Amino acid sequence: MTVSPKRIAANKLLAAAGLLRPSNADAVAGFLWRFGIDMPPPFFRGFWGNLAFRGITSALIMGMGMWVFVWSRHGYSPSAALATTGILGLLYGLVTAGIYERLRRLHGLPLWRDIDPTSQTNVSRQAPATKTRPPVSKVGNRGPKPRTKN
């Protein structure tokens, strides 16, 4: 099995950012990578891609598991099972997509389509801009004045 240069660049970007390797962060991406399919890991997908992928896969897995082990035994109707699965998949997709989007922007990671394996600019990326506090003066106001008893 050959590893694509794009995956190597993605692993270097994640290592530079101090994040998990893609195969550990997304089991499906790691599984597909073993078969040579270059699916972007969640840190390099956009919000909508993560929402769709994470929501659909979690809804399928959770829905099938709940149907086999719980809902079919308790007389839960298939339409109610589909509705519950869809709502929970959507909520899970929204939460995980928001987390991955926040981490992607926080660490300045590009989208999968923007990774250029031939360019070294992706690998030696600059640190993201952080908000800094203004320097505190050593002289002057040092907080509230102590109360005095009258």
What domain count does the chain have? 1
- Altogether, the residues listed in the chain come to a count of 150
Q: Determine the angle formed by the axes of helices 47-69 and 78-106, rounding to 10 degrees.
A: 140
- Domain-located, residue 35: yes
CA dihedral for 90, 92, 97, 102, sign (positive or negative): positive
> Minimal CA–CA distance to 104: which of 56, 49, 55?
49
- Domain-located, residue 146: no
- Domain-located, residue 99: yes
- Under 8 Å between Cβ of 40 and 29: yes
Q: What CA–CA distance (Å, rounded) separates 9 from 119?
A: 9
> Minimal CA–CA distance to 55: which of 14, 87, 100, 102?
87
Token pair 């993201």 is found at 128
What average pLDDT does the structure give for the chain? 80
Tell me the HSE value of 39 on the side-chain side, using a 13 A CA sphere: 19
Specify the pLDDT at position 142.
58
Q: What type of residue is 24?
A: N
- Domain-located, residue 71: yes
| Percent of the chain as helix, strand, coil, to the nearest 5 | 60, 0, 40
- Domain-located, residue 19: yes
- Domain-located, residue 133: no
- Reported as a single tens digit per residue, the pLDDT across 89-130 is 999 999 999 999 999 999 899 998 888 888 755 544 444 555
- Domain-located, residue 79: yes
CA dihedral for 107, 113, 117, 121, sign (positive or negative): negative
Q: Provide the whole-model pTM.
A: 0.69
- Under 8 Å between Cβ of 81 and 66: yes
- Which range marks the domain in which residue 98 is found? 5-114
- Domain-located, residue 24: yes
- Reported as a single tens digit per residue, the pLDDT across 38-51 is 888 888 899 999 99
